[in-house]
Amino acid sequence: MKKRKPKLLDLFCGAGGAGEGYVRAGFDVTGVDLYPQPENPHRFIQADWCEYLKEHGGEYDVIHASPVCKGYANLNSWGRVTHKREIPLVREQLLRIGKPYVIENIHSAKWDMIDPIQVCGSPFGLRVRRHRMFESSLNLISSGCDHGWQDADQIYLRRGRYSKPTPTGVCPNTGGSQLFQPGTLKSMNRERERELRSEGMGIDWMSWEPLTQAIPPRFTQFLGRQIIPQLRL
């Protein structure tokens, strides 16, 4: 008798970067987002995350949530923009459902998370670090970091311009825009930047805007393979 795939609910799914990793790990994924996501390659439902969770959360084996990160970004701390910090509310609702869960966000959100682990792109051979934090009701281990091979040719990519940093050999606690590309190019157009991000993150189906918000599928594939043996199916 063939064993069924575990069902995973991907809240705040965007264009499906996290969801794709879970698919590769062996999950049957359904994505939910408030906005249309025509580039999401998985089963998709447009809905408010909280309402859908209350009504259907119990139908899934595990729930992943990636709340909007703007409230935790540096820009918010500078006082220029104020956004809601949603992780405590998301956790509260997930605990009410009682299913195993994973909450993902940027590194600076760790202060709102309970015992989070960090996942980095470097151990998987990706040309991005894009550090992300994951809180879970399950036992998950960090990927660690392996930046040494990148330090020789790393170039930070911010708003279409390159700047060569001073290699330190130290894993910085930053994540959003660090790409690693040999050469000394000083500027580029948006399409070339998208191509580099796409290649670096292992994502080949997204346009510019969703790509800037996505996480590499390799991250959740790594976590998904840890999660499945812990589920009671």
The strand pairing partners of 43, in sequence order, are: 30
pLDDT 10s digits, 154-202: 433 333 333 344 333 333 333 444 444 444 344 456 777 778 888 888 9
CATH number of the domain residue 114 falls in: 3.40.50.150
Question: Residues 73-79: contacts with CB within 8 Å, 24+ apart?
Answer: 73/106, 73/108, 74/108, 77/108
In a domain, 1, yes or no: no
Q: How many separate domains does the chain show?
A: 1
Domain presence at residue 64: yes
pTM: predicted TM-score of the whole model, two decimal places: 0.82
Judge whether 192 lies within some domain.
Answer: no
Let me know the angle formed at the C-alpha of 177 by 221 and 134, rounded to the nearest 5 degrees: 40
Mean of all residue pLDDT scores within the chain: 82
Residue type, 40: N
Assigned domain for 29 exists: yes
pLDDT of residue 1: 60
Given a contact cutoff of 8 angstroms between Cβ atoms, the answer to whether 231 and 34 are in contact is no
pLDDT of residue 191: 77
167 domain residue, yes or no: no
Do the domain assignments include residue 100? yes
| Portion of the chain with pLDDT greater than 70, in percent | 76
Question: Residue 31 sits in which domain range?
Answer: 7-147+202-230
Q: Is the pLDDT of residue 74 over 70?
A: no
User: What is the pLDDT, as a whole number, of residue 73?
Assistant: 77
